[in-house]
Structure formats: structure tokens, C-alpha cells
């Protein structure tokens, strides 16, 4: 009811104890195209939907390598995301310069969260309008964090942000308990399936998504389109095999399903 009176700047509290500008910034994250992350004990996978502004243009870059052991996927104002990625990269480089070892993921997300918090407490600034899924590997294992514009961060087994992410979250909620033991390939397949949920009918091809992985013995990198298309094709073959008459089950993971003649 009083939302419009107390939302002019970030340094004004509402009577209910909320900072509306910060909440509006989190809305900006929901407007961006979807980004999801999943983690197992040894690998973390990030996947994003590539939405191009028009048919004539290329899509925006939403996945950034921060260091060999850390990468981020963003949703929201991509310009803010780019700037924050530059900050994250510089933090990693500075840490490695001084300590000759990779920056632990938990420390990096704290630096990022502190930087975001500053923008919620200065009258001449505005919060960053971007949510970041930080995927990384360090001595304590594989980690997936979500950093939001409010300056909060949370660790997740799997998460989805951006538009139509609720569909992906529902998909992940059903399956996340098994993720810790998943091998790398299964994690990638589930990431693609979650992306598919956000597409709501649109066909999943490797051209409209970006998938990146980091894991034990595997530095952070974006997987090339050809490999992703092969994974998508193999998933579709399995789906059609499962949907064949005789078994009307949902497309649960059936590892021994052989491709039938199509």
C-alpha cells in the first residue's frame, strides 16, 4: 500500500522494515533469461538460455570464466554482470599473486556480497541489477552459490534464476537429492532438462543454450555447441524410447534404455 512512498532511494526504509529499491533490483533479476546451476560432489554445471534481442543480433554473454576453478552465470542486467565478473576476476588474480594458491569460493562470494551490500547503503548508488550463480571448486569440494543484489548469498545443491525459472526449480526440487553422486554426464543432462523446462514448448537446441562445467581435474570452460547438441540428441532418443507404447511412465532417468528404431 505504501510501496510508492518509500521507494525513491535505496537509503529509505519502509514502515514495514523493507528497502524497496533492493527488492526492485531483485525483480530485475527475474526479468533476465534463465540461468541454472547444479552441483555434485566433484563437478558443478552452469547452463543459461541465450536470448537474443532480435533475430538480427547475437545473444548476450551470460557465462563468464572467473578463474580456472570458478565460473559464473548471470541473470538480469548483463552490463552489471560484466562489471562484477571483471571484479571477481581481479580478486582471484590478486589472491593468487599474493598467496600462490586459488581463491576459495566461499571467500570470493563474501567479497562479492560485501560489494553488493555497499550499494544498498549509499544514497548516491543503486544496487546491482544482476543475480550471479557462482560455481567453483576448491579444497573443500564443489560449490554452487547464488549472490543476489541485496548482498545476500546462499549455497545451493541446485538453483535456477531468471524468467520462467520456477519451472526449472520445480524440476530440480524433485531430483536434487541424488545430484551429489551424479557423474558429470548425468549432471549435464539434468542441466539441459532443467533448461528445457524454462523454454515451455520451444525446441531445445545447442544454439539457444550455453553450458559450462568445472570439476575435479577439469578447469572451468564452456562446452562446445557440437558436444551439447549430441547430448541433446541422445536425450531425445531416450525420451522417445520411454514414451513408446507399453510404458506410460514419466521420463524418469532410465540408464539402461537403448535407442529404439525411430
Partner 1 sequence: MALSRDWMYENNGGTCVAIAGADYCVVAADTRLSIGYSIYTRDYSKICKLTEKCVLASSGFQGDIKALQKNLAAKHLIYQHQHNKQMSCPAMAQLLSNTLYFKRFFPYYAFNVLGGLDNEGKGCVFTYDAVGSYERVGYSAQGSGSTLVMPILDNQLKSPSPLLLPARDAVTPLSEADAVDMVKDVFASATERDIYTGDKLEIVILNASGVRREFMDLRKD
How buried is residue 19: exposed, middle or buried, by Cβ count under 10 Å (0-12/13-18/19+)?
A: buried
With CB under 8 A as the contact rule, the residue among 89, 111, 115, 184 that binds partner 1 is: 89
The beta strands (E) that lie in 122-186 are given as: 130-138, 141-147, 153-155, 158-161
Identify the three-state secondary structure at position 188.
helix
Cα–Cα distance between 203 and 25 in angstroms, integer?
Answer: 31
Give the strand order in the sheet containing 158-161: 158-161, 35-39, 43-49, 209-215, 218-222
Nearer to partner 1, 86 or 125 (CB): 86
Contacts (CB under 8 A) with partner 1, residues 57-86: 65, 86
Distance CA 203, CA 191 (A): 15
Give min distance, CB of 89 to partner 1, in A.
Answer: 5
Tell me how many residues contact partner 1 (CB under 8 A): 7
Q: How far is the CB of 86 from partner 1 (least distance, A)?
A: 8
Pick 93 or 118: Cβ nearer partner 1: 93
Residue 35 to residue 195: CA distance in whole angstroms: 8
Show the cell assigned to 62: 551470460
Q: Which stretch binds partner 1 (CB under 8 A): 3-11, 90-98, 149-157, 230-238?
A: 90-98
As measured in angstroms, the least distance from the Cβ of 93 to partner 1 is 5
Positions in 95-134 near partner 1 (CB under 8 A): 96-97
Stretch that binds partner 1, among 93-101, 128-136, 209-217, 236-244 (CB under 8 A): 93-101
Minimum separation from the CB atom of position 123 to partner 1 (A)? 33
- Distance of alpha carbon 151 from alpha carbon 235, whole angstroms: 38
| Contact residues for partner 1, defined by CB under 8 A | 65, 86, 89-90, 93, 96-97
Amino acid at each position: 500500500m505504501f510501496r510508492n512512498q518509500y521507494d525513491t532511494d535505496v537509503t529509505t526504509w519502509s514502515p514495514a522494515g523493507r528497502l524497496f529499491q533492493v527488492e526492485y533490483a531483485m525483480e530485475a533479476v527475474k526479468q533476465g533469461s534463465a540461468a541454472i546451476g547444479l552441483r555434485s560432489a566433484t563437478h558443478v554445471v552452469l547452463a543459461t538460455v541465450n536470448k537474443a534481442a532480435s533475430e538480427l543480433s547475437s545473444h548476450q554473454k551470460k557465462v563468464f570464466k572467473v578463474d580456472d576453478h570458478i565460473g559464473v552465470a548471470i541473470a538480469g542486467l548483463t552490463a552489471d554482470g560484466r562489471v562484477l565478473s571483471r571484479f571477481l576476476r581481479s580478486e582471484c588474480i590478486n589472491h593468487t599473486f599474493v598467496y600462490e594458491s586459488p581463491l576459495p569460493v566461499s571467500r570470493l562470494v563474501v567479497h562479492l556480497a560485501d560489494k553488493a551490500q555497499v550499494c544498498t547503503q549509499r544514497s548516491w548508488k543503486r544496487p546491482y541489477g544482476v543475480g550471479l550463480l557462482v560455481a567453483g571448486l576448491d579444497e573443500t569440494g564443489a560449490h554452487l552459490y547464488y549472490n543476489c543484489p541485496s548482498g545476500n548469498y546462499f549455497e545451493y545443491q541446485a538453483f535456477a534464476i531468471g524468467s520462467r525459472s520456477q519451472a526449472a526449480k520445480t524440476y530440480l526440487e524433485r531430483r536434487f537429492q541424488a545430484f551429489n553422486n551424479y557423474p558429470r554426464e548425468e549432471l549435464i543432462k539434468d542441466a539441459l532438462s532443467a533448461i528445457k523446462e524454462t523454454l515451455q514448448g520451444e525446441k531445445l537446441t545447442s544454439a539457444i543454450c550455453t553450458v559450462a562445467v568445472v570439476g575435479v581435474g577439469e578447469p572451468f570452460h564452456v562446452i562446445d555447441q557440437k558436444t551439447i547438441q549430441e547430448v541433446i540428441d541422445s536425450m531425445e532418443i531416450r525420451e522417445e524410447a520411454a514414451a513408446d507404447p507399453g510404458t506410460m511412465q514419466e521420463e524418469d532417468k532410465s540408464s539402461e534404455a537403448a535407442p529404439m528404431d525411430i
